[in-house]
Amino acid sequence: MDSSLPLNMHGWTLERHILEEQRTHPDATGEFTRLFQQLALAGKIIGSRVNQAGLAGVLGVTGEVNVQGERVQKLDVFANQALIHALEAGGQVCLMASEEVDDPIPIPTDFPRGRYVLMFDPLDGSSNIDVNVSIGTIFSVHRRISTGDEPKLSDCLQPGFKQVAAGYIIYGSSTMFVYTTGKRVHGFTLDPSVGEFFLSHPDIKIPERGAIYSVNEGNESKWDAKVRDWVRWLKTPDEAIDHPYSGRYVGTLVADFHRTLLKGGIFAYPADNKNPDGKLRLLYEASPMAFIAHAAGGDATTGKQRVLDVMPTELHQRVPLYIGSKLDVADALKRIG
C-alpha cells in the first residue's frame, strides 16, 4: 500500500479484504463473505442510530427486563432487531442467539438456511448509552454441527476454540469493525461520508506486556483475598517491574478490550461472592474476545482454564474473565490461581 495516500483512497474495504482472504480458502463458497457483508451492514445501521441517539428519541429504557435481569434500553432492542433482520434472510446462517433473547433464534422457514451459527451481544455496554460513552456489538461465528432438518441448541453450545470467526464493532470516537478468523486480527474504520469500513489496523498484535489494568474496583469488597492482593500488587510502586500500572475502566467490554488489544495490559471481570461465575457471558462476550486475544498473541483465562476451552452448558452462561497481554495474564494466573 502507498502510505502517502489517505486510507480510504487505497480502496481496502472490509469486503475486499474478506474476498481476498477467502480467495485462497480451499472450500470457500462465498457464504462467509456474504455473512460479513450483512454484519457490516448491521454495524453501519446500529452505528448511525447510535450517532443520532440524542436526536432520534431512542435514549432511555423500554421498561422491560431481559433474560440477564437487566433493564432493556431502547437501543438494545433496535440493535437486536437490526442484526436479526440483516442476517435472517441471507441464507448464510441457520441459527442465531442474542444476549437479549432467552432461547436460540430460529431462521423463519421461508428463508434459506446456511451452515453458520451466529451469536451476538447486540449492544454491549448498555449502561453507557445515555451518557455518550463508547458501546459496541460483539459477534461469534461457529459452524453448525448438528444434523437433521432443524439446528439445535447444541450448535450454540460449542467451545470457543471451534469458532470460525469472531469480532466486534465499536461505536466510539469513530466506528470500527475488528475481526479475526483465528489467524490474524484486522481493524477497519468506518468512513461515514462513503459508508464503507476501510482497513486501518492490519494485523493487530497485543503487546507482550502492558502498563494498564482494567477492573471494576467497586467490587473489591466482594472479591476473594487473592484477587484483591493481585490488584493491590498491580498498584504498588516497584521500579524494577514498572509498577504501578495505570487504571482505566470504561464499563463497556468492547471499549475496555479494544484499548487492551491496542495498548496491552489486562482487563478482568473476576468472580466474586455475589457472582461466583463472574458477570460476563461466555458465548457472546468472553469467548469471541478470547478468540481475538489469542489471534493477536495475547491470552484469556477464567482463572482455572483457557476461556476457549470452556465447554458451554447454557446459552447465557457466565464466566470470570482475565484477558490481555500474555505476560500480564500469566502474572494474574500466578497470583489468583
- Residues of the shown chain interacting with ligand AFP in the complex, contacts defined by CB under 6 A: 70, 121, 124-127, 216, 251-253, 256, 269, 279-280
Distances in whole angstroms, Cα of residue 81 to Cα of each of 29, 119, 230, 256, 303 = 27, 13, 41, 25, 35
CB atoms within 10 A of CB 119: 29
The pair phi, psi for residue 7, each rounded to 5°, is -55, -40
User: Whole-angstrom Cα distance, residue 47 to residue 60?
Assistant: 17
- How many whole angstroms separate alpha carbon 288 and alpha carbon 308? 9
CA nearest neighbour of 87 among 59, 120, 60: 120
**Considering beta carbons, is residue 114 or 160 the nearer one to ligand AFP?**
160
Supply the minimum distance, in Å, between the C-beta of residue 283 and ligand AFP.
13
Sign of CA dihedral 216, 217, 221, 225: positive
Nearer to ligand AFP, 113 or 279 (CB): 279
Q: Shortest distance, CB of residue 60 to ligand AFP, whole angstroms?
A: 14
CB of 63 to ligand AFP, least distance (A): 16
Q: Which is nearer to ligand AFP, 127 or 174 (CB)?
A: 127
For residue 255, the SS3 value is helix
Q: How far is the CB of 250 from ligand AFP (least distance, A)?
A: 8
3-state secondary structure of 289: helix
Min CB(259)–ligand AFP separation in Å:
12
Assess contact for 30 and 38: CB atoms under 8 A. Answer: no
C-beta closer to ligand AFP: residue 21 or 70: 70
Question: In the complex with ligand AFP, which residue's Cβ is closer, 18 or 77?
Answer: 77
Nearer to ligand AFP, 34 or 228 (CB): 228
Q: What whole-number distance in Å separates Cα of residue 282 and Cα of residue 278?
A: 10
What's the min distance (Å) between Cβ of 329 and ligand AFP?
17
- Least distance to ligand AFP from the beta carbon of 125, Å? 5
Nearest to 269 by CA among 285, 284, 258: 285
| CB contact at 8 A, 257 and 289 | yes
- Our CB check for ligand AFP shows the closer of 83 and 107 to be 83
Cell numbers for 80? 437486536
Report the alpha-carbon distance of residue 333 to residue 337 in Å, rounded.
5
Rg of the chain over CA atoms, in angstroms? 20
Q: Which of residues 187 and 278 has its CB atom nearest to ligand AFP in the complex?
A: 278
Nearer to ligand AFP, 127 or 305 (CB): 127
Smallest separation (angstroms) from ligand AFP to the CB of 13: 28
Least Å distance, CB 279 to ligand AFP, is: 6
Amino acid identity of 82? A
Q: What are 20-26's contacts with CB under 8 Å, separation 24+?
A: 21/181
